Amino acid sequence: MSGRRCVMAAAVCTILCAGLPRAGRAQPAQRDWRQASGPVRIYNTAKQKLMAGKQIVGGTVSSPDPNMYCAMANAGFDFLWIEMQHSPLTYEDVARMIRACRGSAAVPFIRVPDATESDIQKATDIGALGIIVPTVDTVEKAQAAVKWAKYPPQGRRSMGAGQYRELWGNDYRQTINENMMVVIMIETPLGVANAKEIAAVPGIDVIFAASGDLANFSGHQQGEEPYESLVTTIHDVVLKAGLKLGGPLAWRNRAGYTFFQGPGEAMLIHSGAQTALGGPAKGGGGSTQ
């Protein structure tokens, strides 16, 4: 081989070898862009307060009026329980309401009609920081709630368009899994029977004892032994699992409860009018449950 060819071959070998990893030297791990590069920024103030061991209360919103929503959002509640199971609210209505009052003190939670990809995807894309799922009887439904509320790798939420980034910042994708709250409602005797397995599903933050529907589905009223036995089972299972326990605001003084659904707009207007007129305020602890 001529000297020129030897020089060219050596140069090519040098270039090719430069791109190969050296034996015995570990290559730096590539950072997962989906994860925050430092401490996760927490903007779900309701979740932050709840996880610190404090009680939080959400006012119930069923009206599509953005002015009503903003009045509720700045009235002193920790979050707003936006009611999409028992109201004609559409996702367009709710998106408009949340956008109209961005930066308000109470963060938006949505009770979706069911634990479907469609319902939860829309609720999260329009900016909800909490997903409340009704009538959870099975482990599979509890798993679906977490699955659709969380981005990979914790869940299977799709990343698409929405007003979430406008509301919560450009690092939303890297931070939302830690800010999102998943609230599971147990409302039936079957749900109570499966409560231990439901509470073991990773990603659940709160299990809510649905006072009204526990009576509706069991046939027993609050105060009756069979009813209170159902409630006690939920209470014991949830706290033993290390989760937060929810219920209606009227149960605020029951031991162990820290997450509450508060009254709706109509009841608040009625109570406020009674106070303004000098009469006794009535029904301050009501809810859709």
Tell me: pLDDT of 82 over 80: yes
99 part of a folded domain: yes
Band (pLDDT 50/70/90 cuts) for residue 284 is very low
Q: Is residue 4 predicted with pLDDT exceeding 90?
A: no
pLDDT > 70? residue 221: yes
Overall number of domains in the chain: 1
When pLDDT is cut at 50, 70 and 90, the band that residue 132 belongs to is very high
For residue 130, being part of any structural domain is answered with: yes
Comparing 27 with 177, the larger pLDDT belongs to 177
Mean pLDDT of 80-94: 97
Question: Could you tell me what percent of the chain has a pLDDT over 70?
Answer: 86
Q: Span 35-45, mean pLDDT?
A: 87
**For residue 16, is it within any domain?**
no
Model confidence, pTM: 0.86
Q: Please give the pLDDT value at position 6.
A: 47
* Confidence at 278, pLDDT banded by 50, 70, 90: confident
Structural domain contains residue 2: no
Domain range enclosing 71: 40-276
**Active-site residue, 86 included:** yes
**Within a domain: 213:** yes
Binned at pLDDT 50, 70 and 90, residue 35 comes out as confident
Mean pLDDT of 22-32: 64
**What CA–CA distance (Å, rounded) separates 230 from 135?**
15
Domain presence at residue 4:
no
Residue 44 within a domain: yes
Tell whether 100 is covered by a domain: yes
Q: What is the pLDDT of residue 7?
A: 43
Judge whether residue 169 has pLDDT over 60: yes
144: domain CATH number?
3.20.20.60
pLDDT band of residue 289 (cuts 50, 70, 90) is low
Q: Tell whether the model's pLDDT for residue 13 goes beyond 70.
A: no
Read off the pLDDT of each residue in 80-102 and give the average, rounded to a whole number: 97
* pLDDT for residue 8 is more than 70: no
Summarize the confidence of residues 82-97 as an average pLDDT.
97
